[in-house]
Structure 1
Amino acid sequence: MTAHNACPARATRTDQRAAQACTTCKGEGRVIREQRTCKVRIPAGIRDGQKVRIRELGGPGKHGGAPGDLYVTVHITE
């Protein structure tokens, strides 16, 4: 799971060609703020584009409570 922020170096560039050559974000326009890896089981029979709920891997509750459920959209590639 990856959280992004807008690239501060690219925001100051007005030339589109120079913005695409940005070495900070590699022309993507955003930089990684936080990244973590979780191992989960996806049930059999999931179709492309279907949403799945993964329990207790979401962000903390609104007032600092326990983590909530994380909803993801599955994209199947071969």
Structure 2
Amino acid sequence: MDIDGRDGVFRFNPANFFDNDLCVRAFGMSASEVVSRLAGHCELTKEVDGGAFLLTTDRPIVGVESVEMDIRIRKALGVPWHPVD
């Protein structure tokens, strides 16, 4: 039973924080492993209060650039990307 309704990540944004429970549900790995896997693929990856803080870019992005960044981060994590129709 999905109590809180949050078991996935729709899109990575320029700044993200995912607690450890969400990392496990959405990516199948701990927040620590998410931080480790994305080191070098983001401007900043840091474990904060047991969760993953990710600064994927250091500037605002919109449109296609946002989608491309999301795909790049998902590939680095090894999680599938499913386009929205």
TM-score (norm 2): 0.23
Structure showing the higher helix proportion among its residues? 2
* Greater C-alpha Rg: 1
